[in-house]
Amino acid sequence: MPQRAKRAADRYYSHVGPRFSCCYCDEPAEQVDHATPASWLHYNLHLIEDWRFYSVASCADCNAKAGASFDLTFRERRARIARAVRKENTKLLSAPRWSDDELDEMGSLMVAEIVKAMREKERVKRRLKVLESRSIPEGVPNDMLMRREMAEA
């Protein structure tokens, strides 16, 4: 989508939910995710008058995984992101937990790499716990595409 058309489409979005944390995984937010992709809206301009569109704060990873795919509900979108995060981190999530005795037998560089991987594994597990939960952040509607009269009621 041309940048000028994207900026024009942005005025039809209402930002909902938290502003500084990703509404999908609760990591710090770096970007804005158009829950109804701006590229989709650009090719369906006839819907603008009747429908309300939402944008939410998002981390870069969740926004990239959400992509330009269209989801009817917040839960569907978050579940799709969770599947992508789980698939991308399958190897990391299946890595064994090393005991202190095992770590003591290794060199310092190996220990540093293992500790780094264990921290990343814990971060991914925290993200997945939020991504796979049924709760919705305050202020975020489950319906990502809502008729304007319903949204304003």
Q: Which position has the higher pLDDT, 94 or 43? A: 94
Q: How many domains does the chain have?
A: 1
- Per residue in 88-139, pLDDT tens? 999 999 999 999 999 999 999 999 999 999 999 999 999 999 999 999 888 8
Tokens of 34: 């158009």
Rounded to whole angstroms, the Cα distance separating 131 from 77 reads 10
Distances in whole angstroms, Cα of residue 91 to Cα of each of 86, 88, 95: 9, 8, 6
pLDDT tens track for 73-82: 889 999 999 9
Which has more confidence, 78 or 142?
Answer: 78
Predicted pLDDT of residue 1: 47
pLDDT at 2 over 60: no
What is the H or E stretch that residue 45 is in? Answer: none
33, part of any domain: yes
What is the residue range of 73's domain?
Answer: 3-146
Residue 63 near residue 136, CB atoms below 8 Å: no
Residue 152 lies inside a defined structural domain of this protein: no
DSSP conformational letter for 47: G
Q: What is the mean pLDDT of the chain?
A: 84
pTM comes to: 0.81
pLDDT recorded at residue 13: 74
Task: Give the separation between CA 136 and CA 50, rounded to whole angstroms.
Answer: 25
Pairwise pLDDT comparison (125 vs 41), residue with the higher score:
125
Would you say residue 153 lies in a domain? no
Q: Name the pLDDT band for 65 (thresholds 50, 70, 90).
A: very high
Q: Which residue has the higher pLDDT, 43 or 92?
A: 92
Q: Is residue 7 part of a domain?
A: yes
pLDDT at 122: 96
Query: Does 26 fall in a domain?
Result: yes
